[in-house]
Amino acid sequence: MAESRKKYRDKVLVTGAAGFIGYHLVERLVNEEYNVVGLDNINDYYDVNLKYARLLEKGIEKKNITENRIIKSNKYDNYRFTKIDISGKKALFKLFENEEFNYVVNLAAQPGVRYSITNPDVYVQSNLVGFANILEACRHNGIEHLVYASTSSVYGLNTKMPLSTRDNADHPISLYAATKKANELMAHTYSYLYNLPTTGLRFFTVYGPWGRPDMAIFKFAKAIVNEEEIEVYNYGKMKRDFTYIDDIIEGVIKVMTRIPKRKKKTEKIYPSNSIAPYKIYNIGNSQPVELKYFIKVLEHSMRKKAKKKYLPLQAGDVLQTNADVIDLEKEIGFKPRISLEEGISKFISWYKGYYSVER
């Protein structure tokens, strides 16, 4: 590809770029003409072939990927990718020093509630050590705004609905959730001490094309295609605030350029804000549905019935999520809008195409 002389917008680092949300965020940013660098360690938590397929969609070929080397996309001249683990300080710091990013969107993390129960060490390294390295790199390199992924799981034992960022969230029930809550506290400290603007986004059950195979919609679709049983926990009575990927990305993009400012000490302080340049938002559809209904919509979209195995509530799972997005709507001017029916239809269309399933 010939080197383009086109002047692009600000430079953005997207960590977790080979992941589900990272894939979609990179797509949106490059199309909006930002200068984008993607970073991922491409670990084997789930099928690495799916991760490489996502990268290939962005013009990054597997054969060209080597540790710590920046690769130019053969599809977009405003996108480059590097394989780096954020828990390793040296390579990460060198990247920051060389690239002079304006914004950082940190999506790199070890996900999964249930996996954290049996594999805690991975979460400590990626979600705590790795995030501390991101904060330090941002602090020392003049980053204008750090946006990072948090999760609805931080609400844990909270029962007041809808779940609000203005309420305390001090009782997580999985290590995954605890590390994400720790990220919010760590970010606040850096915002206060070093005047680093940070915004945490509590995502609510994200789904859509190119999603993670460990998520319910992916596992259910695969089981239905193969005529296998799906495991329905809490007998299908759990409620989830399913949020389509396009709504998540729209929220991230709008938040990224809305940089928090230091506030006067006289202003009212909630858990989601501070006198520091710090903010927390929920991004959720605010339309929670029972898992039973979710499966019903999935069956309708696939035109095939599921074989269900009903089971009790699993350790680490919460009974209900429901996002209060009043602050997001009021301050950012955005509220997720894509219905579950529309979102599932889009996911199934992608799934059948990607896995060559008969329609």
Question: Which CATH number does the domain housing residue 74 bear?
Answer: 3.40.50.720
Q: Which domain holds residue 134?
A: 11-208+244-284+322-336
| Residues whose CB is less than 8 angstroms from the CB of residue 341 and which lie 6 or more positions away in sequence, other chains included | 297, 301
Q: In terms of pLDDT, which residue wins out, 316 or 296?
A: 296
Which band of pLDDT confidence, cut at 50, 70 and 90, is reported for residue 346?
very high
pLDDT at position 359 over 70? no
Task: Give the C-alpha separation, 295 to 225, whole Å.
Answer: 13
Q: What is the pLDDT of residues 146-173, one digit of tens each?
A: 999 999 999 999 999 999 999 999 999 9
Q: What angle do CA 29, 340, 356 make, to 5 degrees?
A: 75
- Return the closest-CA partner of residue 252 out of 45, 43, 20, 7: 20
Q: What angle do CA 44, 50, 56 make, to 5 degrees?
A: 120
Over residues 224-243, the mean pLDDT reads 94
For residue 266, being part of any structural domain is answered with yes
- Predicted confidence at residue 293, as pLDDT, reads 96
- Predicted confidence at residue 318, as pLDDT, reads 84
Task: Give the C-alpha separation, 73 to 95, whole Å.
Answer: 17
Q: What angle do CA 295, 299, 304 make, to 5 degrees?
A: 145
- Return the closest-CA partner of residue 141 out of 104, 97, 98: 97
Would residue 281 show up in a list of annotated catalytic residues for this protein? no
| Cis previous bond, 162, omega within 30 | yes
pLDDT at position 4 over 80? no
Q: Strand 239-240 and strand 289-290: pairing?
A: antiparallel
For residue 157, being part of any structural domain is answered with yes
Given the residues 79, 148, 176, 190, select the one marked as catalytic: 176
For residue 188, being part of any structural domain is answered with yes
For residue 177, being part of any structural domain is answered with yes
For residue 214, being part of any structural domain is answered with no
Q: What is the dihedral of CA 228, 242, 115, 111, to 10 degrees?
A: 130
For residue 2, being part of any structural domain is answered with no
pLDDT at position 32 over 60? yes
- Predicted confidence at residue 2, as pLDDT, reads 41
Which band of pLDDT confidence, cut at 50, 70 and 90, is reported for residue 1?
very low
Q: What is the pLDDT of residues 72-131, one digit of tens each?
A: 999 999 999 999 999 999 999 999 999 999 999 999 999 988 889 899 999 999 999 999
Question: Which residue is listed with tokens 């931080």?
Answer: 154
For residue 53, being part of any structural domain is answered with yes
For residue 315, being part of any structural domain is answered with no
pLDDT at position 3 over 70? no
Q: What is the pLDDT of residues 266-293, one digit of tens each?
A: 778 889 999 999 999 999 999 999 999 9
Task: Give the C-alpha separation, 14 to 32, whole Å.
Answer: 14
Number of domains in the chain: 1
Task: Give the C-alpha separation, 68 to 82, whole Å.
Answer: 6
CB of 144 closer than 8 Å to CB of 9: no
